Amino acid sequence: MRSLPLLLGAAAFVLVLLVALPRCARRPAEPAVRASWTLTPGVLNPDVTQWTIRSTICVRGWTRTVRPPSDYTSHLKLEQMRAYGLGGSPRDFQEDHLISLELGGHPTDPRNLWPEPYPRAADVDAIENELNDAVCSGRMSLDAAQRKESALKHEKG
């Protein structure tokens, strides 16, 4: 009879552990860095339109022809990290195009570049490639893809 309260107490303790431990083990979500509408509204490359996509963004390797040099983006990243109030190492961020080169974003205008944190930057790169594929296959207009990308980076980071 005395072992029943001990057994019930042990079972209650195990139950509490099963409920509490997963919550304690989770890391708190890091705050998202979202693109600022004022600092980084996004700027389009005037050479890329719905009518020129077959000779620009839909040509394999085209983005290499317009990508700015890393010394330009590295310097700009430091300036923009300060403007965004971001601490940490520059290696924690990718100087990314708000409207990606794959979707006709301006290559060098600072209003189209921002410090996007890793690992989010890698996740967004995959989305940019999917949007480019949708535009080049005709499943989505260039304008719709640009709006979707802008919303993603302004609302979710």
pLDDT tens by residue, 121-135 = 888 999 999 999 999
Compute the Cα dihedral for 132, 138, 139, 144 and give only its sign.
Answer: positive
What is the number of domains present in the chain? 1
Question: What average pLDDT does the chain have?
Answer: 87
Residue 97 in domain: yes
Residue 51 in domain: yes
Whether the pLDDT of residue 109 is over 50: the answer is: yes
Q: What is the pLDDT of residues 24-57, one digit of tens each?
A: 444 444 457 899 999 999 999 999 999 999 999 9
Residue 146 in domain: yes
Residue 11 in domain: no
Residue 127 in domain: yes
d(CA 45, CA 47): 5
pLDDT at 26: 46
Total-model pTM: 0.79
Residue 144: which domain range?
33-155
pLDDT at 27: 46
Residue 4 in domain: no
Any residues with CB less than 8 A from the CB of 150 and at least 6 apart, and which? 42, 98, 99
Residue 83 in domain: yes
**Half-sphere exposure (CA, 13 Å, Cβ side) for 152?**
20
Distance of CA 102 to the CA centre of its chain: 14
d(CA 38, CA 125): 23
